[in-house]
Structure 1
Amino acid sequence: MSHKIVGAFLLFIAACSAAKVPIAIYYESLCPDSAKFITEQVYPAVKSELRDFVEITFVPFGKSQFFTQGSEVTFTCHHGPNECYGNKVHACAIEHIQANSYQTEFTRESLTLDFINCLMKAGKNFPDNVYPGQRCASENHINNWENIKTCANTTEGSQLLRKAGETTQKLKEPLTSVPTVLFNEQFDKTVNERAQLNFMGTLCKYVSAPQPRICAQHNAAPRLDSVSATLTSVLGLWVFALLKRLL
């Protein structure tokens, strides 16, 4: 058995036995910053070798508000009524998406991530004002779009979105920006900001050893601020030496 095969096997065993890092992402369905973060940072990281080391909870509410009157729940959303509908679709998808026994290559988590990524990638640009739910479902092996759509257009969708709102309101530190990221159920302003610039690198800090190769490669890469500081130092020394010669 080659060293590469042994290494891959050991990594697989470690991934199975290691505790997954719980991450909660508080976002809005039509928020440009949320879309950029999920599609460019979260999705590539979780689709990599890190997929077995992370457990993501999506909370589609953000700065929205809800009001109850009897059994009725009404919402006002940061980016308008279309976002309220989008938030309900996300909440219903998170609730209803299931993996099928005949599609063993997909898990409930991977299907949900693919679907949400597709919706966020679409942004606000919907051809003919058609919400891309059905398209994203068919492109990402989601077989129960009709159930998700029915949920989003009924009381169930309102209740699920209200639940997301209650989860958001229970944050120890009130949500002030969207998206907001929590690692290990703890909010840290510095970690939140760092994760939005470099989600993969931040996640790797929480992954127990032995880490997947992608983390080792990432940690080995020089940080931009370190490179900048080094170049500045070298330039300063060069200028100093030049002045000495001239003087």
Structure 2
Amino acid sequence: MSHKIAAVCLLMSCLFAAVYGAAKVPIAVYYESLCPDSAKFITEQLYPAVRGELRDVVDLTLVPFGKSQFFTQGAEVTFTCHHGPNECYGNKVHACAIEHIQANSYQVEYTRESLTIDFINCLMKAGKNFPDNVYPGQRCAQENHINNWENIKTCANSTEGSVLLRKAGEATQRLKEPLTSVPTILFNEQFEKKVNERAQENFVGTLCKYVSAPQPHICTAHNGAAAPSITSVSAILGSLLGLWSIIRLFH
């Protein structure tokens, strides 16, 4: 009898996970490391959302390339960037950080995703104003629990950084609609100009329209965000009642 009860409990846990664990929304942000509009969006819109109540409903991809270009001559790859050579270096640092940052078992409060967005948010906040012309990579690493800044720096100053930045460029070139503005934001791997514009003004409100019910509180409380439908609630209640009937059979 005990194994039957255990099976029912497992079934219930799966149901609750399906009901309350909203599917993650794939979001890709194509940006540039020294772009003021990119910095404004990431620091004021994206970062507060993905480090707040919406952190569990976003599957985030960051692509640090934007309007840059790359040219291949034999084994060499050269880049020209929208905001000059410093941005090319910054883009490489971002690409290397995205590749190399890892969570540590003794830092259970941090995930790979949270460490990466914390680090990149810090870099974007710095903008173009570097005291003494020192790139803020080491400072941002120290402030955000990144323990492998030396690896990231080595990557950015080596062939690996060029390879990773080229991959970001290739991903940007594969967009169905050629990138014309930075940042560019895709939801569910689809680009829509009006959605991109709305997201830069109101990322939370735009994202919430893609989050399935039942939605996080910030969505249900947000203007224009849809609350869970009556149909969804009825289906949940029906499933729970069905489970309750099964459990009663074992008593």
Q: Compare the two structures and name the one with the higher helix fraction.
A: 1
Q: Give the aligned partner of residue 183 of structure 2.
A: 179
Q: What CA distance in whole angstroms lies between the structure 2 residues aligned with 1:156 and 1:181?
A: 26
| C-alpha distance 180-15 of structure 1, shift in aligned 2 (>3 A) | farther
Secondary structure in structure 1 of the residue aligned to 2:106: coil
Asked if 2 retains the 8 angstrom alpha-carbon contact of 1:14 and 1:210, the reply is no
Q: What amino acid does structure 1 have at the position aligned with 2:155?
A: C
SS at match of 2:79: strand
Question: 1:113 and 2:110 equivalent?
Answer: no
Matched, 1:62 2:41: no
**1:75 and 1:16, CA in 2 relative to 1: closer, same or farther beyond 3 A?**
farther
Distance 1:14-1:126 versus aligned 2 partners, 3 A rule: farther
Task: Quote how far apart the aligned CAs of 1:13 are.
Answer: 3.8
Task: Quote how far apart the aligned CAs of 1:77 are.
Answer: 0.1
Per the alignment, residue 51 of structure 2 pairs with 47
**Residue 74 of structure 1: which of 57, 74, 78 is its match?**
78
Q: Deviations over 1:63-104 (max 9, x none)?
A: 000000011000000000000000000000000000001101
Give the aligned residue type for 1:122. A
The equivalences for 1:143-182 within 5 A come to 143-182=147-186
The amino acid that maps onto 2:181 is S
Give, as a single letter, the amino acid of the residue that structure 2 aligns with 1:57: T
Amino acid at match of 1:196: Q
User: Quick one: distance in 1 between partners of 2:87 and 2:182?
Assistant: 14
Structure 1 residue ranges (4+ consecutive) displaced by more than 3 angstroms after TM superposition: 12-17
Contact 1:26–1:181 (CA under 8 A) maintained in structure 2:
yes
Matched, 1:86 2:90: yes
* Structure 2 CA distance for aligned equivalents of residues 147 and 178 of structure 1: 28
Q: Deviations over 1:172-231 (max 9, x none)?
A: 00000000000000000010000000001000000010001011111369xxxxxxxxxx
What SS is found at the alignment partner of 1:219? coil
* Aligned-CA RMSD value: 1.6
Give unmatched runs, 5+ long, in structure 2. Answer: 1-12, 226-251
TM-score by length of 2: 0.82
CA positional deviation for 1:145: 0.2
TM (norm. structure 1) is 0.83
1:244 paired residue number: none
**What residue number does 1:101 align with?**
105
Q: Identify the residue that residue 28 of structure 2 maps to in structure 1.
A: 24
Give the 3-state SS of the residue equivalent to 2:198 in structure 1.
Answer: helix
Number of positions where the alignment pairs a residue of Structure 1 with one of Structure 2:
211
Give me the whole-angstrom Cα distance separating, in 2, the residues matched to 1:56 and 1:114: 13
8 Å CA contact retained: 2:26, 2:58: yes
* Structure 1 residues 137 and 204: alpha-carbon distance in aligned structure 2, compared to 1, 3 A threshold: same
Report if the CA contact (8 A) 2:205-2:224 is conserved.
no
The letter of the residue matching 2:39 is: A
Cα shift at 1:14: 5.5
